[in-house]
Structure 1
């Protein structure tokens, strides 16, 4: 399941998006499948770690295996590494950047996730010193940023950069909410994926139609994102960015919605 703007952005630039299945509930990096999908027309591969929406944090072994696949390719392939959530990690995990393992990599980062301010579009693109054609690519990125206009941070945001780098959401609070939600939903009978990072929790929908189930939850004033929107039908995504009181008020609604599905199946 991808972030839902990847494909529109790829298509809008005249390229073709090739999807590689990333299977729940383990969400292991499908290195063999990626290699199988590489052709002479492959120009770039997008990877997202920590991964939205699964919460997986890819291991050094997985990333090294991916780098080996890209090194074996018969032509240059860029790796676009979306690391928007790389500071939101749980249980003492450390972030491993795919850029460490492969020279032709772009590291994408946004402060919007770390600060829980997704509307503030400020971040950066970084390349390793070993990137071939580094200077030419830097120039191309600057020109593209200037042309779009909206991709260029205003003066106030530029001035705030130093402070933004030091700021962060309270990750311990997010982990506490993660544990509370996952523990409570598991006890009710839901199937959850306990995230290793990000501020999302994936839950399997008790109904085949995940959109229909999210509407049941909405009647209980519980609002979640149906999996169909990020190409993962029969699942839905919970955000941990609400406060603790919101979490506690939502839990009875989850239970009532699940009980409603169980009763309808019995009848």
Structure 2
């Protein structure tokens, strides 16, 4: 890749960060910031309450270094919980605790891929997958989904070649909130198996499950690990419980994946080489108390149902997601994502343009505010760019 490729990959978010900073300075109290997912609403405070209760009970000597990948007892609890949920016989050596899902991704990609390996990414996607892979010298192939933003199975099949070492998929997907069905994932697994038979190489499926516990619709979450043995799962406790700043997640290796033991060793080594350590000792004390809990999504379900109905009433087209706190909106006809985002900023409403997510023609809203502000969101959208008349 050219020397400026990292700059090209980093530029969209950096450009948005400048727009964000300018708008925050100018807007003051008028600001509605629906860009970065930093919620100002409390949905399920059980994890926070437990964390607050832990602080006075933990002696200082228990807040020392823990092993790379986290303490064995905590990893065993995570593996046991995940095994029950997925029906996959995971053990503690299959799980590495990390300071958040981003760290888990860095560790997983570093362990799995080598310079020259091709990695497919289904888009739209979380912003920094390509940036991480570029640092590893991987060949990046973006596989765009259709207008429904579901898995483009045929495009994936056409994109796989002899150098394809992996595929990254969000399940549920960020930024769209789409939850891929078990049938879709089974078709994808069949495509990957067929490619392995043809090229003699098992492509590893990296399943980004950071939003796994934010399914608010009627969809049923299925992890690809249940259907395809060469899978690595990434998860975030912080995202699930609105404790993102506490940076706690993990990566889990399917026990049946190819070269499992070598990958596990490389993953621990990657934690050293990248400077990515285990979560804080305090958060490792919290994990056993929340690992079997599922956050209550009742308030998120109500908010998603309400905001989607309101925006559709106004005439905006929305991707049919069923998870995450995001709403992925089609831009009005003739208006690009950056222009729409800039117009919204002019109305003191911040939303992320879809170029950040390697897509075009959309903006993403994060439901950071309570439902009382939703009518104002609609008014500002209309003031910025009304949708075409039906």
Q: Normalising by structure 1, what TM-score?
A: 0.90
More displaced stretch, 241-250 vs 141-150: 241-250
Instruction: Establish whether residue 145 from structure 1 lines up as the match of residue 271 from structure 2.
Output: yes
Q: CA deviation at 1:39?
A: 0.8
- Aligned partner of 1:214 in structure 2 is 341
More displaced stretch, 151-160 vs 135-144: 151-160
- Aligned partner of 1:227 in structure 2 is 354
- Aligned partner of 1:118 in structure 2 is 244
Q: 1:92 to 1:186 in 2, by over 3 A?
A: closer
Q: CA deviation at 1:196?
A: 1.1
- Aligned partner of 2:85 in structure 1 is none
Q: CA deviation at 1:48?
A: 0.9
Q: Secondary structure at the match of 1:70?
A: helix
1:139-178 residue pairs with structure 2 within 5 A?
A: 139-166=265-292, 169-178=295-304
CA contact (8 A) 2:314 2:378 kept: no
More displaced stretch, 239-248 vs 29-38: 239-248
CA contact (8 A) 1:199 1:240 kept: yes
Q: Secondary structure at the match of 2:272?
A: helix
- Of structures 1 and 2, the one with the larger relative CO (CA 8 A, separation 6+) is 2
More displaced stretch, 168-177 vs 27-36: 168-177
CA contact (8 A) 1:121 1:151 kept: no
More displaced stretch, 88-97 vs 47-56: 88-97
CA contact (8 A) 1:115 1:167 kept: no
CA contact (8 A) 1:89 1:197 kept: yes
**Is there any run of 5+ residues in structure 1 with no aligned partner, and where?**
263-267
- Aligned partner of 2:150 in structure 1 is 28
Q: CA deviation at 1:116?
A: 2.2
How well do the aligned residues superpose, as a CA RMSD in angstroms?
2.0
Q: 1:169 to 1:239 in 2, by over 3 A?
A: farther
More displaced stretch, 216-225 vs 100-109: 216-225
CA distance in structure 1 between the aligned counterparts of 2:290 and 2:339, rounded to whole angstroms: 40
Q: Deviations over 1:72-111 (max 9, x none)?
A: 1222211111111111112333210111111111111111
**Is there any run of 5+ residues in structure 2 with no aligned partner, and where?**
1-123
Aligned residue pairs, count: 261
Q: 1:212 to 1:186 in 2, by over 3 A?
A: same
Q: Secondary structure at the match of 1:64?
A: helix
CA distance in structure 1 between the aligned counterparts of 2:145 and 2:241, rounded to whole angstroms: 28
- Aligned partner of 1:265 in structure 2 is none
- Aligned partner of 1:9 in structure 2 is 132
Q: CA deviation at 1:52?
A: 0.7
- Aligned partner of 2:160 in structure 1 is 38
